[in-house]
Amino acid sequence: ETGVTQTPRHLVMGMTNKKSLKCEQHLGHNAMYWYKQSAKKPLELMFVYNFKEQTENNSVPSRFSPECPNSSHLFLHLHTLQPEDSALYLCASSQEGSNSGNTIYFGEGSWLTVV
């Protein structure tokens, strides 16, 4: 139990569907992240939120839309995805930005399959 909870754990969606991934952290952290993990590839940072404000968007296609209503919750809205978007999507949080050496804590991830 890492204190970061993601739902759903598994999602299969068609290319025309709209779905959302949800993340909640119970650690009192101020920064939240979305990462994409594909097989044999480095973790790719997608989005960063600090105190509910988006501070980083790593050139992520607009078919991925993040939402951070408060410091404890983070969503990733998915629309018209492609099969190559199939991956493990990891949510994470840290006290403040990880670039200052603060440890980031990951959720268990949401396995996404686009068919």
Nearer to another protein, 82 or 99 (CB): 99
- Beta-carbon contacts of 56 under 8 Å, excluding residues fewer than 6 positions away, are 45, 47, 48
Write out the two tokens for 106.
Answer: 């990951």
Q: Are 66 and 91 in contact (CB under 8 A)?
A: no
Selected binder of another protein within 43, 52, 60, 65 (CB under 8 A)? 43
Q: CA-to-CA distance for 95 and 101, rounded, in angstroms? A: 10
Q: Does 69 bind another protein (CB under 8 A)?
A: no
Selected binder of another protein within 13, 22, 45, 52 (CB under 8 A)? 45
List the interface residues with another protein, window 80-99 (CB under 8 A).
90, 97-99
Residues that bind another protein (CB under 8 A): 2, 4, 40-43, 45, 90, 97-101, 103-109
